[in-house]
Structure 1
Amino acid sequence: MMRKRSLVRRSAAAVAAGAAALVLAACGGEGDGSGSAGHGGHDATASPSASASASQGRHNAADVAFAKGMIPHHRQAVEMADLAPGRARSAEVKKLAAEIKEAQGPEIETLSGWLTAWGEEVPAEGAMDHSLHGMGGMMTDEEMSELENASGEAFDTAFLELMIKHHEGAVEMAKTEQADGAHGPATKMAGEIIASQSAEIEQMNKLLGKG
């Protein structure tokens, strides 16, 4: 028994010594340029974040489609909201537009971050996918031009009607994500979009006298 134990101890010591030698060799082999970064615990700091992103990063095609579709969708809503301060007559419409911009701007950044982390391409700024027009409540170029050229009460009515349609499309996209998505934070965002935009749809219908 004693001989077996001493053999086990010797083997463990040899393994530990070998591992230490490998670590030293790796640090020494990084060269002057990266040595300081290496000694700063590059691997130690990278591993937790990498494992964290891996645990949160379980995603599927539905998650990618949700992010790629929602980014241009949100951008268009922000573009519409940007028109309100100089064109809207109603204080309620101006306030609602500001709230839409405040909510959807950060979501665009979060969605873009997910796509980058997944190695997917983020939809280019200003490059509107024309195949999306008419889908998900997206406005056509003509509708956008009409909104840009409207002011006062006409703008308020057009903004509310178009934004209701826009929000309804976002809610449907979010429901699809909830049903088919695998990425926890994305399905959570989808739930928040459904709740907030459904409430805004109700509010906008009331402003139009339909509530």
Structure 2
Amino acid sequence: MTSTRTLVRRAALAATAVTATLALAACGGDDGGSGSGTAAGKPTSPTAGTGAHNDQDVAFAQGMITHHRQALEMSESAAGRASSAKVEDLAARIERAQGPEIEKMSGWLKTWGEEVPSATPGADHSGGHTGGGSGGSGGTGHSGMAGMMDAEDMTRLMKASGKDFDTLFLTLMIEHHEGAVEMATTEKAKGAYGPATELADAVITGQTAEIREMNKLLGKSNG
């Protein structure tokens, strides 16, 4: 009897130990899954790696690089031509803001294995500066891009000076900024890459404020 009771007791203890071990293992598995956000050892964060982008992000970066380069060309022309210190200051701020943005977007494209538009400011304005109704939806091609100046506009700007330059620069840059805002709005709606949609939001905020500023410099009360 004593021997039988001992065997039964040992079997019960062994079963309890196995149950406890399995319970702890299951608990540990649950903690790892919910706490680290990983599956099979791979991060599930949307920012992990470089693949969290879509065609719209590529189009936005390629189009906005070209768009920004023309804005830089226009802004650089203010030195020695503008008569207003406020216009010169605005042009300098545009240069400081958009130069680094070009570098940032170029970095994305290189990481994605996509083509970075060639640095040829003013070389492609064949689409006209009105931009068309759908210019902001792609940015995939440079002609017809929203807000881009054509060769005639750029020539007039480069030949102008004094108050005539101030007026023409502000008028053209307002249109240029409006095109950029249109492109950025499309990126916010259709883009997938977080840093790109964040940049688009910054473009909308910053350039909308500059449009209001330029309208005031032109004497317009409504921006």
* TM-score normalised per structure 2: 0.69
Which stretches of structure 1, 4 residues or longer, exceed 6 Å deviation after superposition? none
CA deviation map 1:100-126 (0-9, x unaligned): 000000000000000000000000110
The answer to whether structure 1 residue 137 and structure 2 residue 131 are counterparts is: no
The answer to whether structure 1 residue 165 and structure 2 residue 175 are counterparts is: yes
The answer to whether structure 1 residue 192 and structure 2 residue 186 are counterparts is: no
Are the aligned partners of 1:133 and 1:140 in contact in 2 as well (CA < 8 Å)? no
CA deviation map 1:127-177 (0-9, x unaligned): 644453443100001100000000000000000000000000000000000
Determine the C-alpha separation between the residues in 2 that align with 1:199 and 1:57: 33
The answer to whether structure 1 residue 74 and structure 2 residue 68 are counterparts is: yes
Trace 1:1-211 onto structure 2 (pairs within 5 A).
54-55=48-49, 57-126=51-120, 128-129=123-124, 130-131=126-127, 132-211=142-221
Determine the C-alpha separation between the residues in 2 that align with 1:60 and 1:52: 13
Q: Which is further off, 122-131 or 109-118? A: 122-131
Are the aligned partners of 2:147 and 2:180 in contact in 1 as well (CA < 8 Å)? yes
Q: Between Structure 1 and Structure 2, how many residues are aligned?
A: 162
Determine the C-alpha separation between the residues in 2 that align with 1:133 and 1:150: 25
Gaps of 5+ in 2: 1-13, 15-44, 128-141
Are the aligned partners of 2:188 and 2:200 in contact in 1 as well (CA < 8 Å)? yes
Are the aligned partners of 1:56 and 1:183 in contact in 2 as well (CA < 8 Å)? no
C-alpha spacing 1:106/1:164, structure 2 compared with 1 (3 Å): same
RMSD: 1.8
Determine the C-alpha separation between the residues in 1 that align with 2:196 and 2:148: 21
| Higher relative contact order, structure no. (Cα contacts within 8 Å, ≥ 6 residues apart) | 1
Aligned-pair identity in percent equals 61
* Local SS of the residue matching 1:135: coil
* Local SS of the residue matching 1:55: coil
Gaps of 5+ in 1: 2-50
Determine the C-alpha separation between the residues in 1 that align with 2:144 and 2:59: 17
Q: Which amino acid aligns with 1:192?
A: A
* Local SS of the residue matching 2:149: coil
What displacement does 1:205 show? 0.3
Determine the C-alpha separation between the residues in 2 that align with 1:99 and 1:118: 29
